[in-house]
Amino acid sequence: LRKNKVQVFAPTREQAKIEWSKAYAMRIAEKYEIPGAPAFDVIESVKELEKLGAFSRKFGTSFVVKADGLMGGKGVFVGGDHFHNLKDARKITRQLLERGPVVLQEKLEGVEFSGHYIAGGGVFFTCPYSQDHKRAFEGDKGPNTGGMGSYSDESHSLPFLSQKDLSQARKIAEAVFEAVKKETGSGYTGVLYPAFMKTSAGIKWLELNCRFGDPEVVNILPILNDDFAEVAYAAATRKLKRISELEFRGVATVVRYGAPKGYPEKPSSGDLIKINEKEIKKVGRVYYGDARLEKEEAGVKTIKTMESRTFAIFAEGKNLVVAKQKAGNAFKSHVEGEYHSRGDIPDFNRIKRLKRHFGIK
């Protein structure tokens, strides 16, 4: 595209390596001293397997084994969760090495959240912070999924984050932009989405993505007051400076996915779901995923489930209680059929525990 003089709202392939090679991301973090990075090592081949022993002497089983490249969320093995001793970690590492390098990371303990930043022409803007819910079932149980839903509060933050946390997160993003510019010789254009972890030692990060998160993007774009096409074009043409700041409406947002029953392990595809779009549009929005349209009548769509997440409902409110309730009502009153969704997004008891744990008022 760029060769053909098309303006692109995305990093170059070389810059996008921060997402498609975890080893590259960690090495850049080390070289440019990006704050909040976990301790790491890279195993290039079985000859270097002894690095695993050294890592384990330092961290016990409190470490994570990751495939270097993109594995659709299936290349990450967490100590204490997916393996419980060095022998099993070695087995996993050997298997992953058949497909490429392996990254070892210190296991970070805390609560995960997502940051999104839009950059171009030497400036960058912060989007609302949000939290994905990756586990299939309520109470964060069950297997990992593509993401069952996410939320963001009316101050564009999360209730368990302090101002200091937000400024630490932003500093990490700034350091990533600077590092990428130094390393690749050109400024970053597009979206940076670090997966952050709030730990007892401050804000850390686990990985860097160069795109919007799914479902988190649905917490962000519907409440953007500016025209997103204009923002993207300004960033692509390095004129983002002309916009003084992105403007987001001051509302809390909740996104919940509906997925086939049995998702992700044994998705029941071919089930019919009736979605009363006309009614839902009065309180929120519907987005479709892996769905086939069967019928549409008077604002009611009948869709068929496939293998992956079928549809998402977005709702907003003056606070999280209202937004959660609206999303819940939309599912209860305006969606009929066989599907699976999580009703605990967000879980206010969990939020209360986290606030107490981190001493947030």
**Residues at the interface with ligand GLY (CB under 6 A):** 132, 147, 213-214, 216
Nearer to ligand AMP, 147 or 317 (CB): 147
Residue 214 contact, options ligand GLY, ligand AMP, none, Cβ 5-8 Å cut-off depending on partner type: ligand GLY
Spell out the residues 6+ positions from residue 163 whose beta carbon is closer than 8 angstroms to its own. none
Nearer to ligand AMP, 76 or 192 (CB): 76
Nearer to ligand GLY, 183 or 214 (CB): 214
The least distance separating ligand GLY from the CB of residue 101, rounded to whole angstroms, comes to 21
- The conformational region for residue 194 under phi > 0 = left, psi -120 to 50 = alpha, else beta, is beta
Tokens of 81: 């969760």
Nearer to ligand GLY, 216 or 290 (CB): 216
Residue 334 contact, options ligand GLY, ligand AMP, none, Cβ 5-8 Å cut-off depending on partner type: none
What is the four-CA torsion angle of 110, 112, 117, 123, rounded to 10 degrees?
10
Nearer to ligand GLY, 177 or 193 (CB): 193
What span, in angstroms and rounded, lies between the C-alpha atoms of 8 and 11? 8
Residue 147 contact, options ligand AMP, ligand GLY, none, Cβ 5-8 Å cut-off depending on partner type: ligand GLY
Environment class of 126 (CB within 10 Å of its CB; exposed 0-12, middle 13-18, buried 19+)? middle
User: Could you count the other beta carbons within 10 Å of the beta carbon of residue 142?
Assistant: 16
Residue 76 contact, options ligand AMP, ligand GLY, none, Cβ 5-8 Å cut-off depending on partner type: ligand AMP
Binding-site ranges for ligand AMP (CB under 6 A): 38, 64, 66, 73, 76, 78, 105, 107-108, 112, 134, 195, 206-207
What span, in angstroms and rounded, lies between the C-alpha atoms of 9 and 119? 9
